[in-house]
Structure 1
């Protein structure tokens, strides 16, 4: 089984005479290759996911054993896309139509539309979309060491805590790690921003710009506009090597949280369960947890479970909670973590610290 995700890959396959049986052709415009494909009959087991093809080619493929999956012209997103989202895609039309007219907002409303909850075809499209996101995310990361940074959406721009989370992201990315967050505002945005910035000087300048719009409430439009402008300035800065430093993994399940834009790629999911499992599973270099509430607590214990049951001789990545008072008293999950960690490998890799600097040192030092 071979995945074909670009026309260049399809050209190469057709040119070398390879059999077309079992190919997975994902989201391609096949109109320019129609004559070549109509001449082939070795098509059994081929799967065509979305894209564009004529009725004649559609009939020919099906006649010779291929499966052709159609899309829904009413869907606000392409369920078969082969790449992660880029910020301007999700916020397309922001200036003209406002946030409610963007693909991001329309996808959320599509996902919550009560008339579609029991539509098997729409459910299939959402599931295929999320699987496509996972596949594209795996290809983008390509085995790179990933550190997850968790935290709440309420953290405001312009605060010391926001600057601290951004500094944490920058320190981790500068050490060669890819910073992955839940992709939302607040602490997540700050960590993604710090990771994306190529220098402390650039980060400091952007922090000042963003402080003018502290929160996405009451205006997502202004919050996103200033961020998109800053994002574009960051990615235009010449660097020796343009590598992946920052990834956001948000979900339409939290419709009140718009995605942050400071990412090399955004893997946005309809299923929060699939999104959370994928995010935590990819945090191979460790996990840092900043202040948060219910969603962050859920992620903490979801990450603890595999550490708790891990084999004793397995090397485990660190899990670092930042904020002694917060996690011991305000949201007292630390006593439970300590209890679970007794006589377990978990106890050796969980840490409670008071500063993002300590958290960065623990994660970076664990890889030395």
Structure 2
């Protein structure tokens, strides 16, 4: 060891600390972080690098949490952006929005056109709270005119967190890949108990029936899911049935949680 208490190898390779990061050999920068910050001429490529993206991601969570913190009880409605006014699914989504507001819930959608627009429109026409959680896409959609509280996101995972954190249930109408992504994200988190169970209701047996049959005939028969997992996906055909299903699902889950809490109390507390 050298008199300073370091090995010869440490002296030869030098160590450089940049915050929590340890750098050695060719990774050691030629100038310090504050020197780069104060340099008058800079390459702005750093704005698109991962450390800076972390701050953008953090900002999206902060903005989303701040905007939705006092939202109150809410249900998310998912479905295709490609459905047009006048089509049956559009009218169905409008009625879902109205009925959710009548039941005391805000309506949350992806903020885009189609079924999202219809659900927001139904909520506004019922004098309820209409929320849109938008996403930056290559083809610009913009927030539909029926959104009263809108938050735009760059990152899908930040947006999904808001749907899951601030919704008590999901109503899923016919949709494409985006709708499927939101549906199976929620199912996975409920199945793995990463979130408290909340009801998910599929609307449209003609549209969703084939998917549910495939889940039963292929996944369940191969043992990759359990029978109880299929119970997470009731399928209905009307707005009234959809709202009834999501509300009764929430009531059932509350009863189950209360029963579990009572059982723990009777047993003298949770086990170690």
TM-score, normalised to structure 2's length? Answer: 0.65
**Alignment partner for residue 117 of structure 1, among 22, 42, 48?**
48
The separation in 1 between residues aligned to 2:144 and 2:135, in whole angstroms, is 12
Where do 1:11-90 residues align within 5 Å? none
Q: What is the CA distance between 1:360 and its match in structure 2? A: 1.5
Report if aligned partners of 1:172, 1:364 keep a CA contact under 8 Å in 2: no
| Residue in structure 1 matching 2:197, options 311, 316, 320 | 316
Q: How far off its partner does 1:289 sit?
A: 0.5
Task: Indicate yes or no: 2:59 matched with 1:129.
Answer: yes
1:259 CA drift (Å): 1.4
Q: 1:115 to 1:291 in 2, by over 3 A?
A: farther
Residue ranges of structure 2 left out of the alignment (5+ in a row): 1-44, 252-272
* Paired residues of 2:135 and 2:156 also in contact (CA < 8 A): yes
Q: What TM-score do you get using the length of structure 1 for normalisation?
A: 0.49
Q: What corresponds to 2:26 in structure 1?
A: none
C-alpha displacement at 1:334, in angstroms? 5.4
Contact 1:307 1:316 in 2 (8 A): yes
Deviation at 1:258, TM superposition (A): 1.9
Q: Does 1:353 align with 2:236?
A: yes
Q: Is there any run of 5+ residues in structure 1 with no aligned partner, and where?
A: 1-113, 200-243
In structure 2, the partner of 1:336 is 215
Alignment-derived partner of residue 283 in structure 1:
167
Say how many residue pairs are matched.
202
How much has 1:315 moved relative to structure 2? Answer: 7.2
Q: In the aligned structure 2, how far is the partner of 1:250 from the partner of 1:258?
A: 8
Q: Judging changes above 3 Å, is the alpha-carbon distance between structure 1 residues 283 and 293 closer, same or farther for their aligned structure 2 residues?
A: same
After TM superposition, give the deviation of residue 178 of structure 1 in Å.
Answer: 1.2
Residue number in structure 1 paired with 2:130: 246
CA RMSD of aligned residues (A): 2.8
1:172-321 alignment, distance < 5 Å: 172-198=100-126, 245-253=129-137, 255-284=139-168, 286-310=169-193, 316-321=197-202
Q: Retained in 2: the 8 A contact 1:316–1:349?
A: no
Distance change (3 Å), C-alpha of 1:119 and 1:318:
closer
Q: 1:262: Cα distance to partner?
A: 1.4
